[in-house]
Structure 1
């Protein structure tokens, strides 16, 4: 290879290395912060270690022996973090214990409150019931409307009833269960048996769900006036949770991390 072409190739290779280095370190607020745990990339405002995350809700612990990341706020394993949501193993498998007279779940209801910083997105999760003669539905705690999982829901109750209280076929079945899982979830370990829940301890399982995340508990209209406004230069505020929270994103023509200084860079 001619010397001039060799020089060009070296410069080109150095440029690619620099861009790669810039892309990975720009994920975190502090270049000394760990930005990956196993296969999971940890972008700021999430972070591993003190001064590496925005606040305690976004603290991540990396188990180096298993190469698994855990979101401390939930105490659960994280599979993926994107710029809008987290895929996390968090929702417990809950038993159905029906009241023999009313046919209603003896818990009455299960209330779920994750917001406003973590929200169940519509069309990404599903309500699962494993039972005979049972049905379940969700009640929005704010509107009291009966619903499937709607957009931006963060505070809701799950109610479960028997379909046929006369036959009461559910009375002798202690393995009835319900949980919320992401729509791509296709079951637990194949050796698990919901017909033998005592032996397989199915009620110790958790199901993976997808949660949208936000960095502030106010609307974009008010966010820029508040202390700790998280959106840095060359970024826009985006309403989440129906205006009850917000996220940030780089302006059009910019790419990078909108939560760190000079994180959004022009892509021209």
Structure 2
């Protein structure tokens, strides 16, 4: 294998290795930026992550409100909130978690109470998200009620679902025909919902099982189908709970690290429209990760993703701690930002490029003209060697030689154009028309 081929192959291999290293570093960065548990603590239960402030032991959670019980009798193991029977399906350090809630069901007309949240556990410092959940009732002769409480106050509401014909039922719609939904108030810390079925005076069993289902469900996790009138596929649905930090410092404009649970490169904030005490932590702009852990908020490299920076494509993006900088590459000026000045070529650079291009064009034109005439002269010299050139066309050869010398001149004003060269050759031939045969052969030689 030639040395050049070996070098090219080695270069290609190094480029592949460098690309793999970049991908690996990105994966490592993404992994380290993912919310983590405290060092030495269980960070996963089955398929679910357990980020701090949640944990499975006192040394691993912030306080008892954030206890996660990992039940090993399941395969794979399942996490449960505190010591309840409600499985946890997702935990976010942004202040939310999802648990599975049971469905209230009535097929006898007597009314069935779910009792799943009020009797099975008290949310304490957590509340049921009013923005992300809906109270839902399914059935054709059905209604359901939801009762809840917050800060010593209680409320009761519900909705009715009716349908006399399957044509009235629309998939994805819960506006009262086969399915109804209502919002729930903010800040509820315990709820109780009940399903009721009306007496079946009209037989609608042809397209439903005469049952009523009532439940609270995360809006993003539910879409109604008419088939649910005959058989609801789930006996539990995910609901979203909001959580905040309480009893561990406060969040004010003068607060610092010793006042709250937020760590390096993180700030505390009070959730909007919150109706009770508590705060949350979040990473500062330019950082991502777990704000409740020491060194949990890591710098984001905005330069690795063009959607995270405003630098002009093809120019320079420099990552900085918590931010980035844009610069124009050499030969350009500006702020380097797409939404700003951008990057413009320096005037001196433009002049150099124009002059260089012009000089190169002149050199190429002169070289091509000179080569063309030299090639013609060689043809004529060849004719002379075969005794084709005689005394009658010697002057022509001298004139052609002179013409070639003129074209080789670097002075643009003195150098003839290709058209002028052709016309001069034609004139020389016509001037010596007395030797027609020789001129014919000369013309043929010149035209080759």
TM-score normalised by the chain length of structure 2: 0.43
Report which structure shows greater RCO (CA 8 Å, sep ≥6): 1
Q: Taking structure 1 as reference, are residues 99 and 64 closer, same or farther at Cα in structure 2, changes over 3 Å only?
A: closer
Q: Taking structure 1 as reference, are residues 42 and 178 closer, same or farther at Cα in structure 2, changes over 3 Å only?
A: same
- CA shift, 1:178, in A, is 2.4
Q: Taking structure 1 as reference, are residues 223 and 122 closer, same or farther at Cα in structure 2, changes over 3 Å only?
A: farther
Give the aligned partner of residue 275 of structure 2. 242
Give the aligned partner of residue 57 of structure 1. 65
SS in 2 for 1:220: coil
Q: How does 1:75-90 map to 2 (within 5 A)?
A: 75-83=85-93, 84-89=95-100
- CA shift, 1:213, in A, is 1.8
Q: How does 1:164-243 map to 2 (within 5 A)?
A: 176-183=212-219, 184-186=221-223, 205-216=235-246, 220-221=251-252, 229-240=260-271, 241-243=274-276
- Alignment deviations for residues 68-119 of structure 1 (CA, whole Å, 9 cap, x no partner): 4312413322222122211211x2333559998xxxx697x99847445222
SS in 2 for 1:152: coil
Give the aligned partner of residue 375 of structure 2. none
Q: Size of the alignment, in residue pairs?
A: 246
- CA shift, 1:209, in A, is 1.0
SS in 2 for 1:34: coil
Q: How does 1:34-113 map to 2 (within 5 A)?
A: 34-49=42-57, 51-60=59-68, 61=70, 63=72, 66-73=75-82, 74-83=84-93, 84-89=95-100, 91-95=101-105, 112=118
Structure with the higher helix share, 1 or 2: 2
Q: Distance in 1 between matches of 2:246 and 2:254?
A: 7
Q: Taking structure 1 as reference, are residues 64 and 257 closer, same or farther at Cα in structure 2, changes over 3 Å only?
A: farther
Q: Computing the radius of gyration over CA atoms, which structure comes out larger, 1 or 2?
A: 2
Structure with the higher strand share, 1 or 2: 1
Q: Distance in 2 between matches of 1:266 and 1:33?
A: 24
- Alignment deviations for residues 173-210 of structure 1 (CA, whole Å, 9 cap, x no partner): 995442212222358xx999669xxxx9x9xx433211
- CA shift, 1:245, in A, is 2.1
- Alignment deviations for residues 198-230 of structure 1 (CA, whole Å, 9 cap, x no partner): xx9x9xx43321112223258634995999832
- CA shift, 1:258, in A, is 0.9
Q: Extract unaligned runs of 5+ from structure 2.
A: 1-9, 158-182, 204-208, 301-319, 321-448
- CA shift, 1:151, in A, is 3.2
Residue 28 of structure 1 contacts residue 47 of structure 1 at CA under 8 Å; is this kept in 2? Answer: yes
Q: Distance in 1 between matches of 2:192 and 2:65?
A: 23
Q: Distance in 1 between matches of 2:263 and 2:155?
A: 38
State the Cα RMSD in Å.
4.7
Residue 118 of structure 1 contacts residue 211 of structure 1 at CA under 8 Å; is this kept in 2? Answer: yes
